[in-house]
Chain A
Amino acid sequence: MYQNTDTFPMFERLDPRSPTPLYAQIATRIRVAIAAGELRGGDPLPSVRHLAAKLRINPATVVQAYRALESDSLVATRHGAGTFVAEVGTERRERDRIAEARRLVRELLGEAGRLGISASEVRNAVDHELNGRKSK
């Protein structure tokens, strides 16, 4: 029996070994998808049971991720119906995208620091990649 393992490409490569707890990783993926417009207001999130089984993680982890998003008003749970993406304004989405970009850069800088790469070397490398991408 063939089973599609990519039912949720949004959750590919979650890292259980990371010091960032799994629930936070899941919440971030959903937050980014909402910020990027991949998930829109009213879209249903997978049920806790389904997502836990598909990702082979503890259902409590999924519940915790959904709760975190709920307390950020990004999703709402309707009893008996499931969890749905909330209507999120353009400004909020832009803010969340900026926050995510900063988080990615912080990670990059941390890694560069451990490898002894200087800030200006990182900046040049970022410019180089961005320019290369434009000219392609």
Chain B
Amino acid sequence: MMFVVETHDLGYRAGSDFEIAQLNMHVPAGAVYGFLGPNGAGKTTTIRLLLGLLRPAKGAITVLGQPMPQASVSVLARTGYVPERPHLYPTLTVAEAIDLHAAFHARWDKPWASELVSRFDLPPARRISALSKGETGKLMMLLALAQRPELLVLDEPTDGLDPVVRRDVLEAVLDYVSAHSATVLISSHLVHELERICDWIGVMDQGRMIAELPMQEFKAGIKRIRVTAAPRDAGNAPFTLLARASLNGSGEEWLVRGWEPAMRAFFDTAGASVREVVDLDLEEGFVELLRSFRSPLPRT
């Protein structure tokens, strides 16, 4: 598989209480990669490292086949970036901001930029400082898309935007991705939104990557299983046991990862019986994964 973003044992330290350690990240070419994690997990810091805006203390970063931060100039020319906080000159008008960006990008798509101005209903003569939050969000997305990037890095691109604006913005991103088969790295805490559009998921917590896999695998493999006469020892189970809890007197509930239907046999052999296998959606799976990462089961 070709990776558009790849890190190897990435390390970074900011102050005494936050560090990114042994971060291995792989964003496949053509993927829409959802970057999940609670606030403070290190997603924005990781993104800034990937784009050469921070210098790593350890490890290697490759973006679009080039080492970072050494190749920042050429990588950033091929990457559209929508940061968490917009960085636009407040005194420029919308049209001036667009012209300014166009001047910096050789591949700037002028017709599409104009099309997006009308599709997003942006007022060209208005100053950036007078734009609403939704308009600013749409302008940021326009600037990132019209440079025709091979990689789009979106850090909470729809955070604080109303549903109508979110819809318009995501529609434009997906339209672009379909037409140009670009790769997208998108961080968001709106998990349901990611569930719709992403085909890969990376989950980060406390500066570490705790899971990275195709969305369908993530969703299909993580289950809540209700078991009667559950075995005490799950050491030789074919799945990963993330957590277990007793169900007031009537068996146990297990949270497992890497589940396949044929694995019922494990319980049969142990003399237990599976009462129910409950599917989890992305949000539930994400929450459970974090919970078990933060308080892992003791090794039996």
Contact = CB atoms under 8 A, between A and B. Distances in A.
Contacts of B197: 56-58
Given A21-B216, A58-B174, A60-B32, 16 more contacts: A16-B196, A17-B282, A17-B283, A19-B281, A21-B219, A49-B179, A52-B175, A52-B177, A53-B171, A53-B174, A56-B171, A56-B174, A57-B196, A58-B32, A58-B196, A59-B177
A55 B175 CA distance: 11
B133 interface: no
B174 A59 contact: yes
Nearest to A23: B216
Contacts of B32: 58, 60
Interface of A: 1, 3, 5, 16-19, 21-22, 48-49, 52-61
Contacts of A18: 281
A17 B216 contact: no
A44 B12 CA distance: 52
Contacts of B179: 49
A17 B197 CA distance: 12
Contacts of B198: 58
Interface of B is mostly: helix
Interface residues of B, number: 28
B167 A52 contact: no
Contacts of B172: 53
Given A22-B196, A56-B196, A58-B32, A1 B121 contact: yes
B174 A61 contact: no
Contact of A17 (B119, B168, B170, B195): B195
Nearest to A1: B121
Interface in B274-300: 279, 281-283
B95 interface: no
Contacts of B177: 52, 58-59
B220 interface: yes
